[in-house]
Amino acid sequence: MPHVDPALRRETIVIAGYGEETLGYRIRREEGTPNWLVLYTMGGAGRFERTQCPKGSFLIVRPQVLQDYSIGAGASHWEQLWVHVAFTGAFEGYADALVGHAPYRLFLDAPVECERWLHRCVNASSKLHALHAIQGALLEIEIPRSDAAGIHADCLEFIRIHMSEDFGVAEMARAVGLSASRLTAVLRAQSSLSPRELVETERMKVASELLAMTNLPIQNIAARIGLQSPFYFSLRFKKAFGVSPSEYRKLATGGA
């Protein structure tokens, strides 16, 4: 088994520091570390693999991937704030969403608040305070809209195709190639809805369209959107629209 610095083992909550490196500096870890790595460039420039890290950039690296970094091309020094952190739960999902399918991702011109949060992390009086600070820095970075919009569209397509079936968040996440936690983070960033809320919203939207545009019996509409109980469907529809399905149909069709 490869040697791992005990200070970087997975159970560690967070380790943070400041460095001002000069020519000749290089770190290479063939199998990375068990934790996420965050690097913020305060001055000069760095290089991570083939990616240049200029001043103001925010780099997020997945656990257990190659880490090869040094002074950037043409630079004489690299002033950086670095953090090794074991994200868990929703924050691991958010970090996962930020990086996407790649082993790492660089964000240029990161918000200045990121640097402030990372300074707090480095100077924190406890690991808990340090963890809160790195989480604050992470939340300053937005999931790229192009990524989030595409995932959101894929989820809508999946819901429409499988609407009459009994599926959960895990199945939808698997269909779009994400973990359930990452999918939750992406959808909340894009639409402010959880996966379950998005499914419910789309089901009620389709139900309202069918009520207004067809003569299908209410029990058939309920089945079309994956609800076998017309009574349960009526309760959920009224919660969403404030009226029962039959009342909605009358309003939508002018009482016809």
User: Is a pLDDT exceeding 50 seen at residue 70?
Assistant: yes
User: Is a pLDDT exceeding 50 seen at residue 72?
Assistant: yes
- Beta strand 67-71 pairing with 26-29: antiparallel
Q: Token pair for residue 157?
A: 């397509």
Domain boundaries, the chain: 6-139, 145-252
User: Is a pLDDT exceeding 90 seen at residue 100?
Assistant: no
Query: String of b and e for 47-74 (b: at least 16 CB within 10 Å)?
Result: bbeeebbebbbbbbbbbebebebbbbee
CATH superfamily of 6-139: Regulatory protein AraC (2.60.120.280)
pLDDT for the residue 207 = 95
Q: Token pair for residue 245?
A: 């399905």
pLDDT for the residue 40 = 96
CATH classification of 145-252, choosing from 3.40.640.10, 1.10.10.60, 3.10.20.30, 1.10.1240.10?
Answer: 1.10.10.60
Q: What is the mean pLDDT of residues 184-202?
A: 88
User: Is a pLDDT exceeding 60 seen at residue 8?
Assistant: no
Q: What is the mean pLDDT of residues 189-199?
A: 88
User: Is a pLDDT exceeding 80 seen at residue 147?
Assistant: no
